[in-house]
Amino acid sequence: MAEQVFKLPDIGEGIAEAEIAEWLVKVGDVIREDDTICEVTTDKATVEIPAAVSGRVTWLGGKTGEVMAIGSELIRIETDASVEVAPASDEKNPEPEVAEEQTAEPAPEEPEPKQESPAPRPRRNGGGTAAPVAARNASGRPLAAPSVRGRARELGVDLRQLRGTGPAGRILHEDLDDFVTHGPDMRQGGGLVRRHGTEEIRVTGVRRKIAERMALAKRRIPHFSIIEEVDVEALEQLRRSLNDRFGADRGRLTVLPFLLRALSEAVVDHPEINAHYDDEADVITRFEALHCGIATQTDSGLMVPVLAHAEARSLWDMAREIKRLSEAARDRRIGPKNLSGSSLTVTSLGPLGALATTPIINHPEVAIVGVNKMVVRPVWDGQSFQPRRMMNLSCSFDHRVVDGYVAAEFVAKIKSLLETPAMLFMEWRDD
């Protein structure tokens, strides 16, 4: 018998440890080379670890939720010739695990000859029928994108209970929604029913890292916030004109690139905002470049990909890069290098945004800019009320580094630039 020991590999510069997010194999399983054996989570990203050889799993090095050091023993695989490894799957061109379901063309459905109308979408394990079985890949794992698997873990749903309605039986977000809505026990009849039971969810993976970082930031940083109302009527007119003229060729612009452009101008006059504070060494590091973190909600939790050198990018370049980074984060394809190095963070809830928020600073940064939803409000122009598009900015600052007066000047500068968007394109500066 030949048994090989494989260690947790180096998964990124500066990463010393990783948490076992999910084992996809168990002792006794026969696997093929390159099958995914587990997913591990760092404070930067979630990474899939492939098998280095084919064989039978004889030992696993840690439990789900356990933090392991890089280089520690991860798995042992028996590679004896007597171990029969299943042949490769017969599926032709299976979809890559990193692809989202929306990018795939749905498989055509063959009509049933004796059915006059399409059959309703099957509900999960209702009416005493046998539980559906999810389609599996060659390693026996349900076919689903990483974002679906991550969301299922957060909901406590075993994907093996679901039948996928996507191509080749792939489990989609809609299948997960259907299962969560209806559950394995179908409701008989209408009306309101009492809900019972509790659920305990272990905080692991990305969610635990988020909890740790937020607790660190609130515990060590004395926050204060400034909320300012901004008239974005002129900005919206400019944005829509640019989209009408150039959108088809260059891509469509959101408000975010304009805000980043304003920030890149504002931090020149207020370098204390674009900085890190090492409160253990008592050192403040100011940055000339604006490396802007873009808070992005994913199925695995909040991630902050970094748009580097915002000060040197055009509006369309920023829009394309923001789209690329956010999609990569949601698909869990983003690497550690794109999740570190931010000097200032922007967070936005989009159309779900409230009237005002109090965002938490991304340690060790000293400020964060929050974007709230845009609404039409009546504004007095001196003679009458006029409908204007208005948007509130909610900015939080580290009071150890940034004084209230300086913060107010910084917010006023952003407001001025956004309300007079032509100033965003001026290349001269006051001496």
Cis peptide before 364 (omega within 30 of 0): yes
User: Phi/psi of residue 309, each to 5°?
Assistant: 50, 55
In what side-by-side order are the strands of the sheet with 73-78?
A: 3-7, 73-78, 55-60, 30-31
Residues 6 or more apart whose CB falls under 8 angstroms from that of 296 comprise 302, 303, 304, 305, 325, 326, 329, 330
Amino acid at 378: P
To 10 degrees, the CA torsion angle through 98, 101, 102, 103?
50
Task: Return the closest-CA partner of residue 18 out of 72, 58, 59, 78.
Answer: 72
Residues 6 or more apart whose CB falls under 8 angstroms from that of 117 comprise none
Task: Return the closest-CA partner of residue 329 out of 100, 93, 2, 94.
Answer: 100
Task: Return the closest-CA partner of residue 361 out of 386, 398, 328.
Answer: 398
To 10 degrees, the CA torsion angle through 273, 277, 354, 215?
180
User: Phi/psi of residue 401, each to 5°?
Assistant: -115, -35
Residues 6 or more apart whose CB falls under 8 angstroms from that of 361 comprise 217, 221, 223, 345, 367, 368, 396, 397, 398
Active site residues: 399, 403
β-pair type (367-380, 344-348):
parallel
What is the DSSP code (8-state) at residue 95? P
Q: How far apart are CA 395 and CA 390, in angstroms?
A: 16
User: Phi/psi of residue 17, each to 5°?
Assistant: -150, 165
What is the DSSP code (8-state) at residue 163? -
266: left (phi over 0), alpha (psi -120 to 50) or beta: alpha
Q: For CA atoms 91, 32, 37, 131, give the dihedral sign.
A: positive
Q: How far apart are CA 11 and CA 168, in angstroms?
A: 31
Q: How far apart are CA 81 and CA 233, in angstroms?
A: 72
